[in-house]
Amino acid sequence: MEKQKHIDKAPHVELLGKPTQKDAWLMPEEVHELVDAAQTSHLKLSIRLKIATGAGNEAALQLTWDRVDLERETISLRDPLDTAHRKGPPRFQ
């Protein structure tokens, strides 16, 4: 705004540092309590899927049956139609 001459002088803004990463894990009994507390079967399934695979909301919501192999007991969270070259969600077994 200062460069566009909308204001004479921009106020000082203190930038906060990047927050430190916090690692936290649920104990098995906490996972059971969380699943038991879920009110609906699809919420229970969602919790189990995310805990078992480490999937985030977006990856879990975009999962399709063609990436689930019941015989091999594997789930591929990577969308085969997504051709972007970046590190994607891992494949879990």
The beta strand positions in 1-93, using DSSP E, are 68-69, 74-76, 91-92
| Environment class of 47 (CB within 10 Å of its CB; exposed 0-12, middle 13-18, buried 19+) | middle
The answer to whether residue 92 scores a pLDDT higher than 70 is no
- The sign one gets for the Cα dihedral 42, 44, 48, 51 is positive
Across the range 11-19, mean pLDDT stands at: 83
- The sign one gets for the Cα dihedral 44, 75, 80, 86 is positive
Instruction: Please give the pLDDT value at position 89.
Output: 57
Split at pLDDT 50, 70, 90, the class of 2 is: low
49-84 per-position pLDDT tens digit: 999 888 888 888 889 999 999 999 999 888 888 777
